[in-house]
Amino acid sequence: MPSSMFMVISRSLPVRFWARGCLIQSADFGALGPEVTRGTMEPSMVVGCLWFIVIAFMFFAQHHVCDAYFVPAINVFVGKMKKSSNTWLQRWGDEAVAGATICALGCNGPEMFTNLISLYTGSDAGIGVVVGSEIFNLLIIVGLTISAAPVVPLALERVPFARDCFFYALSIALLYWALLDHAIESFEAWVLLGAALVYVCCVYFTGDLIIAIPALRPTTVALEEPASPSKKKGKMHGIEVSVEEILHARMADAHKDQQQWNVDPTAHGIYAEPQQIPAEQKESKGARQSIGFQFDVKDSMLGAVLKYKDLQEVVLMEMGVINLEFYHNLQHITLRLTVEDPDQRDQLLNNIKEYSLGRPWVHGYDATIVGAWQHLRHTLGATEMPLIQKLVAVPEFLIDSVLRLTLFPVDVKDITKESRWPLCFAGAMFWLAIFSFFMLEIANQIHYNIPALPNSFLGITVCAIGTSFPNAVASVLMAQQNKPAAAIANALGSNVQNVFLAMALPWVIYQLQHGGKPINQNVAGINEGVLWMCGTLILVIFFVLLPPFCKLSYAYGPILVSVYVAYLVVTSGETFGWWPPLVK
């Protein structure tokens, strides 16, 4: 996205807020204070609390942009790289490389744009969001991942873990060095951005290094062979289909390679070879309800069996594609089936309706606002829909309507538009910037109405939790897939790129527009945050070095979560003057 766009957002965007009968221009929020506005607008604790509801809506908006457009565009890019005939481009489709580069934007997009917009609006919350996200990711994501892992102690991959810990420590040291004089010089920003390039290169060649040095190779797990880019063939109800599984989690690459699919002649769904269907399930009266699509336990997001009762939508796409949407609690998975023959496609749809007892909503995909309205009506009217989905249906509709009005021509969820992924990516970036702008303005309103809550505190706590919470949910889902090590690796890699990209890239963009002018930083609370980043990393490494070596026991999960709670208590106490700050 051209950097001049952010000048338009910050200086020309006609954003205004009404508060107690007084019209306030968005550009004036940073200058508002009790001594300036006394007589025209009085702070109100009630109004400040109401703004928390609005800022929560902005968190949800950022998450929805990432899930509905940002990550799908990234996934199309990764898929195209996997299928490339060029071996160097294929490497960019590798999960580890993509996760550290293009997928890092999907994880850190909200933090990056929050920091960028804060530079143009003069808010103190931007850098606090990034620092707070670092602490949240390491303590909460790692802690919840350990607690949700089905097998403990949790074994880590030694080389990637050591690599990410080294670069995370380096990022903390460089961040402290850059903030030492309370200003960011041009060369400091470029050093941090250059470190991002070095990190990407290290991730890119880690696999080659492990192969070249036998001592670095895993002793218990065989090295994975490159996956075939072709789709897997199989049968469903006797009909030949191509199957692709798509996981809806912001932290992880959403596309997975599948195994060969076959169907048990007595069963009513797809089963992965070589698993066998228990006789009691075959003979039970409720077989049609309880037997669905079965995966290998280690790969499945929803467990050993994808049940028909969790199948809520059947979306008919173009080019013979059928998307089966499964929901279970907070988990969402899509099975994309491709049937070449139109008659067989209709037969498969009839079989799905029969065996699912007609519960799923069968419809075509509409990328326009009409599709958003139809989805809202169905969600509110469906008696079997989980309550949590009904609760978020209205705010999701409001956000989805705005996004579909602008992004429907480039919506890559419509498979006929996958070639437009760069435009979808750019459009998602634009809306992330808009919602980040609103989030910072709302934080200013909270600070004005509740002066005891400075913007730096709101950024390092409330905004950091709001922007990072989707990653925490994704980490739990990955742990439930028996992939907790991958979740921890993604959390560490995300933290590295949070400093090298979410901080450095906005600084470079801003300074390029202002002739390399130093960026003054209010580091109140930030230096202490950097100290917490360093301490929590040392704590995690200490746990890893304890016997059993390079493994994390179940007890470490609650400890890490408790440390984060302690961090919030200490930070809040300092903010409200209950005790002096640890770092002045």
Nearest to 367 by CA among 413, 331, 398, 325: 413
584, part of any domain: no
User: What number is the average pLDDT over the span 80-107?
Assistant: 74
Is the domain of 268 the same as that of 288?
A: yes
400, part of any domain: no
Is the domain of 210 the same as that of 136?
A: yes
**Does residue 281 register a pLDDT over 60?**
no
Per-residue pLDDT, 289: 40
Per-residue pLDDT, 249: 60
Is the domain of 447 the same as that of 548?
A: yes
581, part of any domain: no
- 326-330, 457-461, 569-573: least confident range: 326-330
402, part of any domain: no
Is the domain of 22 the same as that of 80?
A: yes
Q: Which residues of 323-349 are buried (b: 16+ CB within 10 A; e: fewer)?
A: bbbbbbeebbbbbbbbbeeeebbeebe
**Does residue 354 register a pLDDT over 70?**
yes
Confidence of residue 229 (pLDDT cuts 50, 70, 90): very low
Q: What total of structural domains would you count in the chain? A: 2
- 13-17, 61-65, 392-396: least confident range: 13-17
**Does residue 283 register a pLDDT over 80?**
no
361, part of any domain: yes
**Does residue 117 register a pLDDT over 80?**
yes
Per-residue pLDDT, 248: 64
**Does residue 539 register a pLDDT over 90?**
yes
Q: Which amino acid is at 91?
A: R
The answer to whether 519 touches 505, Cβ cutoff 8 Å, is: no
Sole residue written with tokens 């969790």: 310
Confidence of residue 96 (pLDDT cuts 50, 70, 90): low
The answer to whether 355 touches 268, Cβ cutoff 8 Å, is: yes
Prediction pTM value: 0.77
Per-residue pLDDT, 72: 84
More confident residue, 21 or 75: 75
Nearest to 503 by CA among 178, 246, 239: 178
Is the domain of 218 the same as that of 236?
A: no
User: pLDDT (tens digit, 9 = 90+) per residue, 498-521?
Assistant: 899 889 999 999 999 999 999 988
Nearest to 428 by CA among 116, 111, 110: 110
The answer to whether 513 touches 116, Cβ cutoff 8 Å, is: no
Distance CA 575, CA 124 (A): 15
Is the domain of 149 the same as that of 103?
A: yes
Per-residue pLDDT, 241: 80
What is the residue-wise DSSP string for 361-397?
A: EEEE---SHHHHHHHHHHHHH-TTS-HHHHHTHHHHH
Per-residue pLDDT, 105: 66
21, part of any domain: yes
Is the domain of 179 the same as that of 254?
A: no
CB within 8 A of 191, min separation 6: which ones? 174, 178
Is the domain of 219 the same as that of 269?
A: no
Is the domain of 387 the same as that of 465?
A: no
Distance CA 554, CA 558 (A): 8
**Does residue 300 register a pLDDT over 80?**
no
The first and second tokens of residue 173, run together, are: 């040291």
The percentage of the chain sitting over the pLDDT mark of 70, rounded to a whole number, equals 76
**Does residue 429 register a pLDDT over 80?**
yes
Per-residue pLDDT, 541: 95
**Residue 191's domain spans which residues?**
4-223+412-575
Is the domain of 161 the same as that of 61?
A: yes
Per-residue pLDDT, 247: 65
